[in-house]
């Protein structure tokens, strides 16, 4: 009996993940006819349809969904085996797939630079997404490890905080409140704010902070990125609550100032997490341990000297722990 090859299973996994022959061909750098032939041969080996086409859309059949699970388990086991062999040899090699919340893009690439310098044999793929998309990637187990500002409250997800994520209020340097100290929150609530999209962790935390004190934030504009918000603040369109980490490149920016507001900064944390049933690869565990050890020293280097911000807010980094359960 003819057996499926790893090559055919890999092609099927990419087609099934994208639900598109065209996107699969682009991802694998193969022609679309090649993709179609390999999937057709795999279907003949299985003896039942793996895909069905309705109009112009492709869907997985029940057998196709089961085979996709087999592919994921097989490829993950092979990856762990390869990394185990490398680890025994004393060399860390393999691939690390990271899913990162948008705001974390200000410091995660810096960490990855130091990590890859220490482990040059590790290949890294990073996907930066908003919270909604990142949660979907987590549910689909598309990456090895995820970095959140606010982890999902879900029994099937394990997470651990590894670094403080203070939320601060920023204003243009010529704002009337720029020189004031201990600004009452009631006074701040009179100002218009620029915010991220609904569902943003930073926005949820800021709105909850005001609501707990019987106040409401006045939204002037909703913007899709932290960079757009900072530029709008500089332009005098309003104030903003952002992670201090988003100002990593702003230490010498005389156009922005951190306001001294009562109750701020709002202390939150960055979390690393993954599906509880998942077994971390050696490479992912190595990076997780690296996060816990190196994130605080790195944060100190790029936040030191930020006007109106104190590094004393940061505590020693978390010790790596094993997932519960």
Task: Report whether CATH 3.20.20.140 matches the domain 6-70.
Answer: no
Average pLDDT of every residue of the chain: 84
List pLDDT tens digits, range 114-159.
Answer: 898 888 888 899 999 888 888 888 888 889 999 988 877 776 888 8
Residue 271 contacts residue 161 (beta carbons within 8 Å): yes
What pLDDT band is residue 315 in, cutting at 50, 70 and 90?
low
Q: 3-state class of 201 per DSSP?
A: helix
Number of Cβ atoms within 10 Å of the Cβ of 158: 21
Q: Report the topology of domain 76-163+269-313.
A: D-Maltodextrin-Binding Protein; domain 2 (3.40.190)
Task: Report whether CATH 3.30.420.130 matches the domain 165-268.
Answer: no
Query: Which residues have C-beta within 8 Å of that of residue 116, sequence separation ≥ 6?
Result: 122, 124
Integer Cα distance of 67 and 50 in angstroms:
8
Q: Do domains 76-163+269-313 and 165-268 have the same CATH topology?
A: yes
pLDDT at residue number 325 = 39
Domain ranges within the chain, ordered by starting residue: 6-70, 76-163+269-313, 165-268
Neighbour-count burial for 46-81, b at 16+ CB within 10 Å, e otherwise: eeeebbeeeeeebebeeebeebbeebbeeeeeebbe
What's the rounded mean pLDDT across residues 176-189? 92
pTM of the predicted model over 0.85: no
Integer Cα distance of 194 and 259 in angstroms:
15
Tally of residues, the chain:
325
């Amino acid at each position: 009996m003819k057996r499926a090859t790893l090559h055919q299973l890999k092609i099927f996994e990419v087609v099934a993940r994208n639900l598109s022959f065209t996107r699969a061909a682009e991802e694998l750098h193969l022609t679309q006819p090649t993709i179609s032939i390999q999937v057709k041969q795999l279907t003949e080996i299985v003896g039942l349809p793996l895909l069905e086409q309705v109009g112009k859309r492709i869907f997985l059949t029940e057998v196709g969904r089961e085979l996709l699970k087999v592919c994921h388990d097989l490829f993950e086991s092979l990856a762990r085996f390869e990394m185990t062999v490398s680890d025994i040899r004393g060399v860390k090699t393999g691939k690390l797939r990271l899913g990162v919340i948008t705001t974390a893009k200000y410091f995660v690439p810096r960490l990855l630079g130091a990590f890859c310098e220490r482990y040059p044999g590790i290949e890294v793929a990073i996907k930066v997404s908003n919270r909604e998309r990142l949660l979907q990637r987590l549910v689909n187990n598309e990456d090895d490890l995820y970095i959140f500002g606010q982890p999902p409250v879900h029994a099937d997800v394990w997470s651990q905080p590894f670094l403080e994520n203070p939320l601060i209020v920023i204003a243009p340097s010529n704002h009337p409140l720029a020189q004031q100290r201990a600004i009452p929150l009631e006074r701040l609530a009179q100002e218009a704010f620029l915010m991220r999209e609904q569902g943003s962790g930073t926005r949820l935390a800021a709105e909850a902070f005001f609501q707990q004190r019987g106040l409401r934030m006045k939204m002037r504009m909703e913007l899709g990125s932290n960079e757009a918000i900072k530029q709008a603040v500089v332009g005098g369109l309003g104030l903003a609550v952002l992670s201090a980490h988003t100002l990593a490149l702003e230490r010498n920016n005389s156009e922005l100032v951190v306001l001294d507001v009562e109750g701020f900064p709002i202390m939150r944390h960055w979390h690393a997490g993954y599906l509880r049933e998942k077994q971390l690869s050696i490479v992912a565990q190595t990076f997780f341990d690296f996060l816990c050890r190196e994130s605080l020293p790195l944060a100190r280097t790029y936040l030191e000297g930020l006007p109106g911000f104190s590094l004393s807010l940061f505590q020693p980094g978390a010790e790596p722990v094993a997932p519960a359960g």
